[in-house]
Amino acid sequence: MRKGIKFSFGTALAGVALATCPVQAAELGDTVTTLQPAVALIMPFDVTDGKASFQLVSRIGGEDSDPLATHWSFWSESCDHLADVFICLTPRDTVVVDPTALQGQLQTGQDNINTGPVINLTGEKGFITVTSFDADTNSQTCEPEDPEAPSATPALIGSWVVANTATNAAFGNNAIGIVDGQTLPAGADFFLTGPVSAGLFLQTFNPLDLQDSEVFFIGVAFPAGNAQFSESEIGPIPAALTNGAAVCCNGQYYDNVESFVSLPDICLTCSSTAKIAENASLAAIDLPAIIPASIPAETSGFVRLTNCQVGSDEGNVPIGDTTINGIDLATFLFAYHGQAVGPFGTSTLGRYTAE
């Protein structure tokens, strides 16, 4: 650390977001933003073969001089909890994290001191939550004073990058910020049950021009944290559908002359990756494709995801009987599309419309 899906066809999903300050306007459902500070951040990571990944978090909100304990929780594509570390952030502080060399950190005077063993997540990919708490001043590792009570003031901003070490292309974006660290948008407002109602929009360049494409899907729930944070933090959507998936959605691909075609339904675990399309230029990427080879994708455009379903609380109803907001557990879906033409990479964030 330096300072300074399971994915299966069946229905799919998506993304946006970051948070804000004492008086603030969030971007999505009054709970999510990508432009202002937040209590909790959500972002992907990928350190599988041929990939490098870093996360950047800064503390910019609030005037309290006491340190914040940021709890970093790493979740795999299969929704397993991989690791967690505590990193102290003082006002206007910044940290860069490498998932292949994870350590806790605290500040003594002008020095940043790493704490605990080095954790190497090489070979893994998934998503990270970073939640801020008031620090326990008696802790030697900057643990929270109260694990059940995230900090009251939004103070964190974040960003991430994933690089392809073979092509030197990289893509990144702002982290998704949850304003109060816990409240997710109302999924039923954005993933309606009509065939093409509302939904998530994920942009793409012409898939035929791309040499790299990695769509990161992140499905989250609250409360769903790990261990002592089980009731206070966001975590993965449980894989509760009868086919073993966490989420299934309908999808359509719209080209640049407004024509659209329905896609095979997409089903995924809490954190899944896919390439945008199955074609010759992306053939070397060993990921499932959102747009199959049988559907021509020959222009820029977007994929639209609608009518998302999750498993019911009872676990005994057929898929499709439960909307994303039809259970007691709050759930939502975010997405990014990392894409590159040769060495030139960029990332688009999933966007939404509501009824």
**Tens digit of pLDDT for each residue in 269-287?**
889 999 999 999 999 999 9
Domain total in the chain = 2
Residue 5 resides in a domain: no
Q: Tokens 């509501």 appear where?
A: 354
Same domain, 198 and 145: no
- Phi/psi region, residue 41 (left: phi>0; alpha: psi -120 to 50; beta: rest), is beta
Q: Which residue, 150, 178, 206, sits at the end of a domain?
A: 178
Same domain, 62 and 160: yes
Q: Which residue, 124, 148, 178, sits at the end of a domain?
A: 178
Predicted pLDDT at 248: 87
Same domain, 202 and 81: no
* Structural tokens at position 95: 């940290």
Same domain, 171 and 233: no
Same domain, 234 and 316: yes
Residue 79 resides in a domain: yes
Same domain, 171 and 194: no
Under 8 Å between Cβ of 125 and 207: no
Predicted pLDDT at 10: 37
| DSSP assigned state of 185 | P
What is the DSSP secondary-structure string of 36-82?
B-BSEEEEEEE-STTEEEEEEEEE-S----SPEEEEEEEEETT--EE
Same domain, 166 and 215: no
φ, ψ of residue 255 in degrees (nearest 5) = -90, -170
Residue 100 resides in a domain: yes
Q: Is the per-residue pLDDT at 64 higher than 80?
A: no
Q: Is 347 exposed, middle or buried (0-12, 13-18, 19+ CB in 10 A)?
A: buried
Q: Which residue, 128, 150, 178, sits at the end of a domain?
A: 178
Same domain, 167 and 47: yes
Q: Average pLDDT for residues 140-147, to the nearest whole number?
A: 89
Question: Domain of 312?
Answer: 187-353
Residue 4 resides in a domain: no
Residue 6 resides in a domain: no
Q: Average pLDDT for residues 100-110, to the nearest whole number?
A: 89
Q: Is the per-residue pLDDT at 3 higher than 50?
A: no
Q: Is the per-residue pLDDT at 21 higher than 60?
A: no
Give 240's pLDDT tier (boundaries 50, 70, 90). confident
Give the span between the Cα atoms of 244 and 251, in whole angstroms.
19
Q: Average pLDDT for residues 323-351, to the nearest whole number?
A: 88
Q: Minimal CA–CA distance to 335: which of 31, 16, 32, 55?
A: 16
Predicted pLDDT at 325: 64
Helices (H), 53-201: 187-190
Q: Is the per-residue pLDDT at 116 higher than 60?
A: yes
Q: Is the pTM of this model over 0.85?
A: yes
Residue type, 231: E
| DSSP assigned state of 329 | S
Predicted pLDDT at 238: 81
Residue 24 resides in a domain: yes
Predicted pLDDT at 15: 36
Under 8 Å between Cβ of 130 and 68: no
Q: Is the per-residue pLDDT at 8 higher than 60?
A: no
188-209 per-position pLDDT tens digit: 888 876 666 688 999 999 999 9
Residue type, 3: K
Q: Is the per-residue pLDDT at 177 higher than 90?
A: yes
Residue 2 resides in a domain: no
Predicted pLDDT at 322: 61
Same domain, 174 and 194: no
306-317 per-position pLDDT tens digit: 888 887 655 445
Which is more confidently placed, 244 or 102?
102
Same domain, 342 and 252: yes
Give 327's pLDDT tier (boundaries 50, 70, 90). low
DSSP β-bridge partners for residue 271: 218
Same domain, 171 and 35: yes
Same domain, 335 and 192: yes
Give the span between the Cα atoms of 104 and 140, in whole angstroms.
11
Residue 10 resides in a domain: no
Q: Average pLDDT for residues 44-72, to the nearest whole number?
A: 92
Give 246's pLDDT tier (boundaries 50, 70, 90). confident
3-class secondary structure per residue, 232-268: CCCEECCCCCCCCCCEEEEEEEECCCCCEEEEEEEEE
